Amino acid sequence: MSEVRHNWTKEEILNIYNKPLMELLYDAATIHRLHHDPNTVQVSTLLSIKTGGCSEDCGYCPQAARYHTSVEGNDLMSVQQVKAQALRAKSTGSSRVCMGAAWRNVKDGPEFDQVLEMVRTINKLDMEVCCTLGMVTENQAKRLAEAGLYAYNHNLDSSEEYYKEVISTRGFEDRLETIDNVRKTNVTVCSGGIIGMGEKLEDRAGMLVALSTLNPQPESVPINALVAVEGTPLEDEEPVSIWEMIRMVATTRIVMPETQVRLSAGRTQMSQEGQAMCFFAGANSIFAGDKLLTTPNPDVNEDMKLFGLLGVNPQKPFTKKVQPQTVEAADSKYEALGEKPKWTRPEHSIERNEQKKQEAKDIRKQEKQIKDLVSETESVKK
């Protein structure tokens, strides 16, 4: 029951997911106790170091430039800003900082050099450092590892079949290739997905097949419930029920016994009791901070109150793996190669929210007319 298997089939996973709930919970909680301390939960802080304006078309994401959401973009944060936020996160119980940039892929150059410096800085604060920067080459993964990166996040999002219904600007195989590139280093892999995007149960099982058959399995698997953001193609999706979330967490725990299963986006829609059941079902990691990149998240004080109620302690950094060493930029073995890999651009297309796009255009036009009128009036007054 507790062995790590890499040959799970979709049918087996569906059978687990659809078990009577009490049996499912019992099995998941039993496996959880064999591999983890049930009273410890990892706390990660997700920082958006470069927000918005992304060229990709992930249908759930308000940061995609094409979707006209209310997200305001900003340039890459400075190393000092990131250090200040990391120190704040550490003081409120986070052991890990995950830095997210709204990029299709990493490009060698000054911005990537700046991210490498952020990795060095946070590792020196004795916190686990994770990055989610889009697709990376092997050389870029090695440079991140050398800087002291602990984990790289690259979600599979859904099953291979459903992936193309949600994203058209890159292929599922690109995701796998990036994970493979990260695996050529000592950096751990964080990869999970989102439920509630209109997928079938078979797709949830398909995603778990894709993740659990990786060898080794990802050290960390975030399970997100879609936060349907106005202006994105998935804005009208119904919220995921807590029961679906509990089933998904429990099934993930059973098929990936050693992995840290993270309750990620969608926690604001969950009650304390619902979150407690997810912890019982095997979730042992959360994202902290009032924002998850751009979507809302519970306040860290609320999380700590819940931990107190449940007798749960935040996990210490480097509990699962030793802290990586940081090599300074001047001593680096790897140079920027300026590679331009041919990531795929599949031909299929997904439904865009043309109505919202038009509404946003109309609003911008009206705003411009008002601005012009105001400046005309002011110049007449003068």
Contact 98, 45 (CB under 8 A): yes
278 counts as catalytic: no
Footprint on this chain of ligand SF4 (rule: CB under 6 A): 54, 56, 58, 61, 63-64, 102, 104, 134
- Per DSSP bridges, beta strands 295-296 and 291-292 are antiparallel
User: Catalytic one among 54, 143, 253, 278?
Assistant: 54
Kindly tell me which of 123 and 224 has the beta carbon lying closer to ligand SF4: 224
User: Catalytic one among 96, 120, 130, 278?
Assistant: 130
98 counts as catalytic: yes
The residue behind tokens 């697709």 is 135
Give the type of residue at 227: V
Contact 110, 61 (CB under 8 A): no
At its nearest, how many Å lie between ligand SF4 and the CB of residue 54?
A: 3
User: Catalytic one among 96, 262, 267, 278?
Assistant: 262
Q: How far apart are CA 382 and CA 371, in angstroms?
A: 17
Q: Which two tokens stand for residue 163?
A: 């992936």
At its nearest, how many Å lie between ligand SF4 and the CB of residue 193?
A: 12
At its nearest, how many Å lie between ligand SF4 and the CB of residue 165?
A: 14
58 counts as catalytic: yes
DSSP conformation letters of 285-317: EEEESSEETTEE---HHHHHHHHHHHT-EEPPT
At its nearest, how many Å lie between ligand SF4 and the CB of residue 232?
A: 9
Q: How far apart are CA 285 and CA 153, in angstroms?
A: 14
At its nearest, how many Å lie between ligand SF4 and the CB of residue 102?
A: 4
Q: How far apart are CA 377 and CA 332, in angstroms?
A: 60
User: Catalytic one among 96, 190, 247, 267?
Assistant: 190
Kindly tell me which of 148 and 231 has the beta carbon lying closer to ligand SF4: 231
User: Catalytic one among 61, 96, 131, 247?
Assistant: 61
Instruction: Work out the number of other CB atoms within 10 angstroms of the CB of residue 180.
Output: 13
Kindly tell me which of 59 and 257 has the beta carbon lying closer to ligand SF4: 59
The residue behind tokens 């496996």 is 31
Kindly tell me which of 35 and 104 has the beta carbon lying closer to ligand SF4: 104
Kindly tell me which of 61 and 227 has the beta carbon lying closer to ligand SF4: 61
Contact 375, 382 (CB under 8 A): no
List the catalytic residues. 54, 58, 61, 98, 130, 190, 262
